[in-house]
Amino acid sequence: MPNLFDAIKNRRSIRKYQAHPVAKALIQEILSEASWAPSAHNAQPWRFIVLSEDSSKRGLAEVMAKSWAEDLTKDEQKIDDEMFQSRVERFATAPVLILACLTMENMTPQPDQRRQNVERDLAMQSIGASMQNLLLTAHEKGLGACWFCAPAFCKETVKKYLEIPKEVEPQALIAIGYPAEKPEASLRKGFDEVCFKDKWGCTF
């Protein structure tokens, strides 16, 4: 088992997977670990939908791809069949898809819109923490995973297809499977580019 530092540093975004299925118990374990993330007010504002059936994965992939194509058409960009199909296959062929959703159900209601917007920010931060737990746990279990933001661009489409209640908001899609690639580490910004001391721009 890799230690935490190794898991953080060696995890990669995996987009190609072996055909080997992922056991339901393993997915349950990964989601259980995701739910141990910290959250504002301990509200645990994450909800997850697991898609493992081929018809469900492909159906979701197709409606999201149609929404994507419509957006690009509005931008006067041409979408050919190959581009469209590659977009579908990216998700349809992953062994498992996990849709991460946000709910404000247990967050604290605020008396004005400014503070309510902040409350939503807190929920978003909480979901990010749970997804990092998910990615690291998947890596520790020998699985590959990739975090995609596609559902955020077509929330209503995803909600309709998966019959998600109106008060629950799709946020991200995580593809999971046994890796069929070994990507190199991507470049990281230098320490002095991202860390400052006492005030913005001062070297740490």
The tokens for 112 are 């004005």
pLDDT of the residue at 58: 98
| HSE, side-chain direction, 13 A CA sphere, residue 111 | 0
Residues 170 and 151 sit within 8 Å (Cβ to Cβ): yes
Query: Domains in the chain, ordered, with CATH?
Result: 4-180 (3.40.109.10)
Task: Please work out, in degrees rounded to the nearest 5, the angle formed at the alpha carbon of residue 147 by the alpha carbons of 45 and 127.
Answer: 15
Which amino acid is located at 132 in the chain?
Q
The helix/strand/coil state of 19 is coil
Per-residue pLDDT of the chain (204 residues; tens, 9 = 90+): 458 889 999 999 999 999 999 999 999 999 999 999 999 999 999 999 999 999 999 999 999 999 999 999 999 998 899 999 999 999 999 999 999 999 999 999 999 999 999 999 999 999 999 999 999 999 999 999 999 999 999 999 999 999 999 999 999 999 999 999 999 999 999 999 999 999 999 998
- pTM across the whole model: 0.94
CA distance readout (Å), 9 to 3, 78, 188: 10, 38, 11
pLDDT of the residue at 3: 82
